[in-house]
């Protein structure tokens, strides 16, 4: 059997991230010329090897830990050096820091030996300047790299490695001869600098756009998850290299550290309790790239929000600006609406109303190719994404029997997003004295009727909305997490919401560490399938929030407890996804070996979990705020100090008995009494 090119695995690698750069290495800190290891900068691998040795031998790894945004420390032992006996006396620490222009690393040799220790510290380095696309495909990149000493270049891109003054350089290796006196340390250092005028993205100049709340909770896992999540989110901040410098979140490391419509929008929406600034930047940068023409090759259409934006020479399969997303435009509309409710200034909202009207124009003109009243997609080029919702793998849309559905596909959650976007758009048009609101309210009403008629199916555990409609308008009857995204949109009645909540909380969907993407009772279920049985952190968090908003605290709590247990297992850095095995199978989730980590909407899940527990829900334009925490405080008492509502810093406390109190609200906002 011929060898296959396989995507490199990630789950056992350590990442250090400060966008647009990321380093992936072994737990020892070693960067070897295998798989996806290396340092990537704006979708190019600018360092493919950095192997450390003492006296030609590798140190024994014992620990690694993040030490702030964009920094990691690796601790190893040189067991052949120092005093004889069982206790190690020579320790080696690599402190790696990403900086806007590259990487700095310090290597510290510490000795507690009785006598001085002499050794030669060596670092072998290389740079293959490979674009990320062939690396992801498991292929060797054919890049014409020019090397001069410790400088590598290809086209206008160049990478230079320098070292502290006491170093010697031979071929590709930097060496330092050091002697460490008893109970002292000696440090040497090296640096990598990147010059890349063609880079699409860069590090933002300003500090993080959101508040960093102080969290205290009976369940300490919430505190730890939020803290780690905010560090990860800060490391993923990006701006485009051209333009006004609006900040957004890159989707994830290593493959998606660029602008992604759906991912960047969801992450910004999940961060609204911490401020509206990242939402504003995301809305602006996507509006600046909104579609203006019909283009079959890129999927562009007037008013459509793009799927992803890449530098042209690093992405082999898709166009640099690709619009193959059926939901990004709808999510853009709803982010604008929700940010307005959280206090995005009216002048800012008004400046984006033309983009809103264009987005609604796409919804009304281009989203429904066959005129049946539902939004569907199909890739007509054979080169784009076969599926264009958030479950975008080629085999994700399946019947209960396991059969793959045939496009065009009308996804269940997309109809809910469209219903919600129509009402959100109508509210904004009315508020800013623009015509057309009645049309979109009528659209939503008609969508609800059509949806109820066509999407609901009967299964072994009751009736529920199908995953999709296929080419022949047959309901694709798998039971999936997608239906959880309908909650809170208004598309479902209270009775229908309760039916969906009960199904999502049942063991077939919630028996893992969060919400499974597909029921264990469906033929295609596989715990390590990308979209047919795994658990995705953001998917679980979104559904938790929507269950909480809909008053289904028990179902929300079941999923929240699973997600917190997963977070604990992953050192509170939630990966993109993980296995959907039963919780009692191993007692901890099985990693999905190719999952991105950190990833923007997975990190934002920690904030969403905190928000669901506290239930702060403002409507700044209406002058009201409500607080509806999870009933009876099933996650225990929790306090969040430093939520943002408009310009105000707001504190929310939920006591162990479930009663809530709020402080810091401005006088312009009225706290509504809690519903009973």
Domain containing residue 19: CATH number = 2.70.98.40
Q: Using the predicted structure, report yes or no on whether residue 149 has a pLDDT greater than 70.
A: yes
161 and 50 in a common domain: yes
Interatomic CA distance for residues 68 and 540, integer angstroms:
27
Q: Using the predicted structure, report yes or no on whether residue 184 has a pLDDT greater than 50.
A: yes
State the pLDDT at residue 653: 97
Q: Is residue 651 part of a domain?
A: no
- Model confidence band, residue 142 (pLDDT cutoffs 50, 70, 90): confident
pLDDT digits 0-9 by tens, 587-633: 999 999 999 999 999 999 999 999 999 999 999 999 999 999 998 88
Q: Count Cα neighbours of 194 within 13 Å in the Cβ-side half-sphere.
A: 26
Which residue in this structure is represented by tokens 């809530």? Answer: 660
359 and 453 in a common domain: yes
Q: Is residue 115 part of a domain?
A: yes
Interatomic CA distance for residues 187 and 210, integer angstroms:
36
The kind and range of the H/E element at 400 are none
State the pLDDT at residue 460: 87
φ and ψ at 95, to 5 degrees? -110, 110
State the pLDDT at residue 543: 98
Q: Using the predicted structure, report yes or no on whether residue 676 has a pLDDT greater than 50.
A: no
Mean pLDDT for 164-169 is 93
Tokens read off for 571: 């050192």
State the pLDDT at residue 3: 59
pLDDT digits 0-9 by tens, 99-133: 999 999 999 999 999 999 999 999 999 999 999 99
Mean pLDDT for 353-366 is 98
Interatomic CA distance for residues 541 and 510, integer angstroms:
13
Mean pLDDT for 28-41 is 97
* Full strand arrangement of the beta sheet holding 321-322: 259-260, 308-309, 321-322
Q: Using the predicted structure, report yes or no on whether residue 655 has a pLDDT greater than 70.
A: yes
Centroid of chain to Cα 492: 28
Q: Is residue 632 part of a domain?
A: no
190 and 240 in a common domain: no
181 and 216 in a common domain: no
Mean pLDDT for 512-532 is 98
Q: Is 540 helix (H, G, I), strand (E, B) or coil?
A: helix
Q: Is residue 612 part of a domain?
A: yes
Q: Is residue 666 part of a domain?
A: no
Mean pLDDT for 332-350 is 98
Q: Count Cα neighbours of 193 within 13 Å in the Cβ-side half-sphere.
A: 5
Closest CA to 452 of 517, 388, 374, 509: 374
Domain containing residue 207: CATH number = 1.50.10.10
Q: List, as one string, the DSSP characters of 430-444.
A: HHTT-S-HHHHHHHH
Q: Using the predicted structure, report yes or no on whether residue 487 has a pLDDT greater than 60.
A: yes
Count up the domains in the chain and report the number: 2
Residue bearing the bigger pLDDT, 514 or 316? 514
Q: What separation in angstroms does the CA of 292 have from each of 231, 362, 561?
A: 37, 10, 45
Interatomic CA distance for residues 350 and 446, integer angstroms:
28
Q: Which of 152, 177, 198 is the last residue of a domain?
A: 198
Interatomic CA distance for residues 33 and 123, integer angstroms:
13
219 and 175 in a common domain: no
Q: What is the mean pLDDT of the chain?
A: 96
Tokens read off for 460: 């072994």
Q: Is residue 641 part of a domain?
A: no
Q: Which of 198, 225, 256 is the last residue of a domain?
A: 198
613 and 554 in a common domain: yes
Mean pLDDT for 176-187 is 98
Q: Using the predicted structure, report yes or no on whether residue 545 has a pLDDT greater than 90.
A: yes
State the pLDDT at residue 371: 96
Q: Which of 171, 198, 225 is the last residue of a domain?
A: 198
Tokens read off for 352: 């984006």
116 and 63 in a common domain: yes
Centroid of chain to Cα 506: 27
State the pLDDT at residue 314: 57
Q: Is residue 634 part of a domain?
A: no
192 and 213 in a common domain: no
State the pLDDT at residue 391: 98
146 and 252 in a common domain: no
278 and 216 in a common domain: yes
State the pLDDT at residue 316: 60
User: Contact 129/45 with Cβ under 8 angstroms?
Assistant: yes
Q: Using the predicted structure, report yes or no on whether residue 365 has a pLDDT greater than 80.
A: yes
398 and 267 in a common domain: yes
Q: Is residue 637 part of a domain?
A: no
Q: Using the predicted structure, report yes or no on whether residue 2 has a pLDDT greater than 90.
A: no
- Model confidence band, residue 461 (pLDDT cutoffs 50, 70, 90): confident
442 and 356 in a common domain: yes
Closest CA to 43 of 238, 290, 273: 238
The kind and range of the H/E element at 261 are helix 261-270
Q: Using the predicted structure, report yes or no on whether residue 322 has a pLDDT greater than 60.
A: yes
Q: Using the predicted structure, report yes or no on whether residue 1 has a pLDDT greater than 50.
A: no
CB atoms within 10 A of CB 292: 12
Tokens read off for 577: 């996804």
Domain that residue 119 falls in: 14-198
User: Contact 628/613 with Cβ under 8 angstroms?
Assistant: no
State the pLDDT at residue 313: 55
- Model confidence band, residue 675 (pLDDT cutoffs 50, 70, 90): low
Closest CA to 302 of 357, 346, 345, 264: 357
Q: How large a percentage of the chain has pLDDT more than 70?
A: 98
């Amino acid at each position: 059997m011929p060898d296959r090119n396989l995507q490199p695995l990630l789950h056992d690698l350590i990442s250090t991230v400060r966008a647009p750069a990321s380093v992936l290495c072994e737990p020892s800190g070693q960067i070897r010329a295998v798989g996806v290891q290396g340092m990537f900068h704006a979708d190019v691998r600018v360092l493919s090897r950095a192997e450390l040795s003492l006296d030609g031998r590798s140190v024994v790894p014992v620990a690694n830990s993040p030490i702030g945004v964009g920094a990691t420390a690796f601790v190893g032992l040189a067991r052949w050096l120092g005093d004889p006996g069982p206790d190690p006396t020579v320790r080696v620490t690599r402190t790696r820091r990403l900086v806007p222009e590259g990487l700095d690393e310090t290597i510290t040799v510490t000795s507690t030996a009785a006598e001085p220790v002499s050794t030669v510290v060596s670092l072998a380095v290389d740079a293959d300047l490979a674009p990320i696309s062939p690396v992801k495909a498991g292929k060797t990149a054919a890049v014409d790299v020019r090397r001069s000493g410790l400088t590598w270049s290809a086209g206008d891109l160049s990478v230079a490695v320098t070292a502290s003054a006491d170093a010697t350089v031979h071929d590709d290796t930097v060496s330092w001869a050091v002697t460490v006196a008893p109970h002292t340390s000696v440090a040497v250092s090296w640096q990598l600098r990147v010059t890349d005028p063609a880079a699409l993205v860069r590090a933002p100049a300003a500090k993080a756009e959101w508040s960093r709340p102080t969290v205290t909770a009976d369940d300490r896992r919430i505190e730890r998850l939020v803290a780690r999540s905010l560090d990860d989110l800060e490391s993923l901040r990006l701006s485009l290299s051209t333009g006004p410098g609006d900040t957004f979140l890159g989707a994830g490391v290593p493959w998606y550290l660029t602008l992604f419509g759906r991912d960047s929008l969801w992450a910004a929406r999940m961060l609204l309790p911490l401020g509206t600034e990242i939402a504003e930047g995301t809305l602006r940068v996507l509006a600046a790239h909104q579609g203006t023409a019909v283009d079959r090759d890129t999927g562009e259409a007037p008013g459509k929000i793009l799927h992803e934006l890449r530098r042209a020479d690093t992405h082999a399969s898709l166009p640099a600006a690709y619009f193959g997303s059926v939901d990004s435009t709808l999510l853009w509309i709803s982010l604008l609406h929700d940010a307005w409710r959280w206090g995005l200034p009216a002048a800012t909202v008004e400046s984006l109303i033309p983009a809103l009207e264009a987005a609604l124009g796409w919804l009304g003109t281009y989203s429904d190719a066959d005129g049946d009243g539902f939004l569907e997609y199909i890739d007509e080029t054979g080169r784009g994404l076969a599926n264009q919702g958030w479950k975008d793998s080629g085999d994700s849309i399946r019947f209960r029997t396991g059969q793959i559905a045939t496009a065009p596909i009308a996804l269940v959650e997309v109809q809910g997003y469209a219903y919600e976007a129509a009402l959100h758009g109508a509210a904004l048009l009315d508020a800013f004295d623009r015509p057309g609101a009645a049309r979109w309210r009528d659209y939503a009403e008609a969508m609800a009727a059509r949806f109820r008629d066509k999407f609901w199916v009967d299964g072994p555990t009751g009736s529920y909305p199908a995953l999709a409609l296929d080419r022949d308008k047959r309901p694709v009857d798998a039971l999936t997490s997608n239906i959880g995204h309908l909650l809170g949109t208004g598309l479902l009645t209270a009775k229908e919401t309760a039916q969906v909540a009960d199904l999502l909380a049942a063991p077939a969907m919630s028996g893992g560490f969060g919400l499974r993407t597909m029921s264990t009772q469906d033929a295609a279920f596989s715990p390590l399938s990308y979209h047919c049985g795994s658990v995705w952190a953001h998917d679980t968090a979104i559904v938790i929030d929507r269950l909480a908003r809909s008053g289904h605290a028990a179902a929300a709590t079941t999923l929240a407890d699973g997600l917190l247990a997963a977070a604990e297992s992953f050192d509170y850095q939630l990966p993109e996804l993980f296995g959907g095995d039963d919780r009692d199978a191993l007692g901890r989730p099985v990693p999905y070996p190719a999952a991105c980590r950190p990833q923007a909407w997975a990190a934002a899940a920690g904030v969403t979990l905190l928000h669901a527990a506290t239930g702060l829900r403002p409507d700044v334009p209406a002058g009201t705020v409500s607080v509806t925490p999870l009933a009876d405080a099933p996650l225990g008492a929790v306090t969040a100090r430093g939520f943002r509502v408009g310009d105000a810093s707001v504190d929310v406390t939920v006591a162990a008995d479930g009663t809530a109190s709020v402080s810091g609200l401005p006088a312009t906002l009225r706290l509504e009494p809690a519903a009973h």
